Copies of this chain bind each other. A is one copy, B any other.
Amino acid sequence: MSGGRSDKRRAILDGALTEFGRDGYARASIDAIAAAAGVSTRTIYAHFGNKAGLFESVIQESATRVADTQIAIVERHLGKVVHLEADLEAFGLELTEPMTGFRDHFSLVRHVNADLDHIPPAAIEAWQDAGPRRVVGALADRLRQLADRGLLALGVPAENDPDAAAKLAASHLMLLVQGAVPFHHGVGANREPDRESMVQAGVRVFLRGYLPAPGSGSRRPAAG
């Protein structure tokens, strides 16, 4: 019918993302994952060895997909900037959308951030490299490009990492824009409908922080 042989692997990854995302590593059971994937538990062990191996595959694969999506959004809105504020707002709006679309993934990420002590460092590095660092890097590239055009002032770079200023600004933008979306059903006392205004506010704050002082070629935002 649907597949030649092995969409089993895909089904397992999907089911595991759902279960791990909802319940976290410890609570999620192999049996539940097998049921969600429509697969026998033995097949999971055949593909991924053990629970830990499955988990690493799940987060790395999911992070890659999400990062690809987010980088595409970065490029779409910040590749050719015509009106900085409007483009940043559109960027932020579309960036916070996947957080509902990829609900399971971001739920999983929260679990990972809480469980860092129980995850092998190699797995963490692999995940960060495949996901968040790639996004921040892409965003930093675009911000530096805008700074070169004189549209932004990113501040003085550090000696060791010349991109530190751009990465910091990128982190700030992500923080301000993603802080707009509540973790869950209204934990931060924020309601859904004001996502747009929350993003606008975040962008406005970002711009106030990183707009070059009027009448300066490309200076740092302020004196220490």
SS of A interface (majority):
helix
Number of interface residues, chain A, beta carbon within 8 A: 44
Let me know if A62 is at the binding interface, CB within 8 A.
no
A193 to B12 alpha-carbon distance, docked (Å): 42
Considering the complex, give the chain B residue whose CB is closest to the CB of A26. B26
CB-contacts of A47-90 with B (<8 A): none
Choice from B23, B111, B175, B189 contacting A133 with Cβ under 8 Å: B189
Pair A205/B209 contact, Cβ less than 8 Å = yes
CB-contacts of A204-224 with B (<8 A): 204-206, 208-211, 221-222, 224
Chain B contacts for A222, CB-based, 8 A? 204, 208
* A-B contact list, 11 entries, CB within 8 Å: A27-B118, A107-B114, A113-B114, A113-B183, A114-B115, A117-B184, A128-B189, A171-B179, A172-B201, A175-B179, A208-B209
Pair B205/A114 contact, Cβ less than 8 Å = no
A26 to B111 alpha-carbon distance, docked (Å): 12
